[in-house]
Amino acid sequence: MFIRTSGRRVVVAGGGEQAAQKARLILKTDADLVLAAPQLCRELRALVRSGRAAHHAGPVTPALFAGTALSFVATGCPGADASLHALAKAGGALVNVVDRPELCDATTPAIVDRDPVVVAIGTEGTAPVLARALKTRIEQMMSPRLGAWAAHAGALRDAVARGIPPAARRAFWSWVFHGRPAQLHRQGRSDEAAALLDSAIAGRRVPEGAGTGHVALVGAGPGARDLLTLRAVERLQEADVIFYDRLVGEDVLELARRDAERVHVGKQVGCCAWPQDRISAAVMAEARKGRRVVRLKSGDPSVFGRATEEVEAARAAGVPVEIVPGVTAATAAAATLQDSLTCRGDTDTIVLTTGMCRPGDPPPDWGAHVRPGATLVVYMGVGAADRIAASLIGGGAGPSTPVDIAVAVSTADERVIRARLGDLGATLRRENVAGVALIIVRIPKRHVAPAIAAE
């Protein structure tokens, strides 16, 4: 909650370091600050001398707290704090008692201040160390120049309302905060950014490209939402409509704008409700309306994600398109296994292949990839496990070659199963693996059969 403080009093009861900490917080506002204590520390005395705060050294009564925007009790003495809390409540105040959450009507959050942009992180007084850690991460994400740019844009709101048609304003503001003006301002070229805005407003026009539709093929990663890239989160926050796969979890979708339209287009084996051509047509139809569309895919769109088909559809429709890479399941599985996909002097080649093809197409020649020093990662291979194993063995891999089966990596259902190549299909059936899993086969140089080494 943000409390308006203009023309209102905030009382800090206490004269020591705890009171000074709360005073520093209130100094970021325009409240009339009153310090209530018989004696004040040096820092607080300086505030009084500068005229930034008033000193109340006399008896404290409920009247002192009446009508305040907020009151703090910060003496450091439990008994005095409890007494002052009772007086403040009798005066009808909203009260915060330092380090006494059970006596707090409100808690003070950790603040990331890019005035007028303010981010508040609160834990209801239960975990202030966590709040400070989150503050540090958010500080790193937000440009130091962000507040100045927001203030400049805010000063132009009336001019924009007069000069830009209502239907185009959202696209205009998106251009202001995500387009060329924002880029210039972040680079320290504030005058150029301001001139660009003034020119657009004076011309009563939305800059070219600002109101056109856009498609972003966004990789959602293997499942865990903290594996999304910052760019992926930005696109979700900008999206008007999101088309998402069945493997994208609700916690990932929570990162999107609340008012973004969400369309589930998940495809499963044996289910053709959303074939690829229908998905592409729906995505392009939304983009042609001038909307920013995210096609949210699990993993990386460029790794068995049919990105090529959707990029071609966008180009054919004349719609701008971009690909936002995601963490692919192979690297996520390696992290789960705590074992690199490559090893210097032992494994120097990675092959990403699939167990599924278009209907009517011949299956991949998995055995052709059996080479000394190769790691084979098979996506969507559970249903073809017996054929995959037979092909790899036929290519020279021994039946006793170890296999890692990584199931639902990075999610709550994650598990790893160890198997031998000759028993791959039987192991999957015994472990009831029927969903999303990777099959990882390593053929290190030092363990290859002589026939393979000679080849």
Pairing of strands 9-13, 32-36: parallel
* Between 170 and 450, the higher pLDDT residue: 170
Pairing of strands 321-324, 214-219: parallel
Where are the CATH 3.40.50.720 domain residues in the chain? 9-108
Element (H, E) at 323: strand 321-324
Q: Give the type of residue at 264.
A: H
Residues 6+ apart with CB under 8 A from 152: 185, 190, 194, 197
Alpha carbon distances (Å) from 107 to 16, 30, 67, 127:
19, 19, 19, 11
The strand ranges marked E within 3-67 are 9-13, 32-36, 53-56
pLDDT at 369 over 90: yes
**Distance (Å, rounded) from C-alpha 403 to C-alpha 408?**
16
Planar angle of CA 341, 378, 413, nearest 5 degrees: 85
User: Residue 404 catalytic?
Assistant: no
Question: According to CATH, what is the number of the domain 331-454?
Answer: 3.30.950.10
Residue 21, SS3?
A: helix
Catalytic residue among 267, 348, 423, 445: 267
Catalytic residue among 32, 81, 240, 245: 245
CATH H-level, domain 9-108: superfamily: NAD(P)-binding Rossmann-like Domain (3.40.50.720)
Pairing of strands 32-36, 53-56: parallel
Say what the pLDDT of residue 209 is.
57
Where are the CATH 3.30.950.10 domain residues in the chain? 331-454
pLDDT at 452 over 70: no
CB–CB of 381/388 below 8 Å? yes
Among 136-140, 148-152, 213-217, the minimum mean pLDDT is found in 136-140
**Distance (Å, rounded) from C-alpha 182 to C-alpha 131?**
29
Determine whether 314 is exposed, middle or buried from the number of CB atoms within 10 Å of its CB (0-12, 13-18, 19+): buried
pLDDT at 116 over 70: yes
Fold of the domain spanning 214-326:
Cobalt-precorrin-4 Transmethylase; domain 1 (3.40.1010)
Say what the pLDDT of residue 270 is.
44
Mean pLDDT confidence for 245-264: 89
* Between 34 and 172, the higher pLDDT residue: 34
* Average pLDDT of every residue of the chain: 89
Among 195-209, 388-402, 439-453, the minimum mean pLDDT is found in 439-453
Determine whether 216 is exposed, middle or buried from the number of CB atoms within 10 Å of its CB (0-12, 13-18, 19+): buried
Mean pLDDT confidence for 172-181: 82
Say what the pLDDT of residue 208 is.
61
Give residue 331's pLDDT band: very low, low, confident or very high (50, 70, 90).
very high
User: Residue 245 catalytic?
Assistant: yes
DSSP state for residue 101 in the 8-state scheme: G
Element (H, E) at 415: strand 415-420
CB–CB of 151/116 below 8 Å? yes
CB–CB of 235/198 below 8 Å? no
Where are the CATH 3.40.1010.10 domain residues in the chain? 214-326
Mean pLDDT confidence for 220-241: 91
In this prediction, what percent of the chain has a pLDDT beyond 70?
A: 94
Among 136-150, 172-186, 279-293, the minimum mean pLDDT is found in 172-186
**Distance (Å, rounded) from C-alpha 354 to C-alpha 356?**
6
pLDDT at 8 over 70: yes
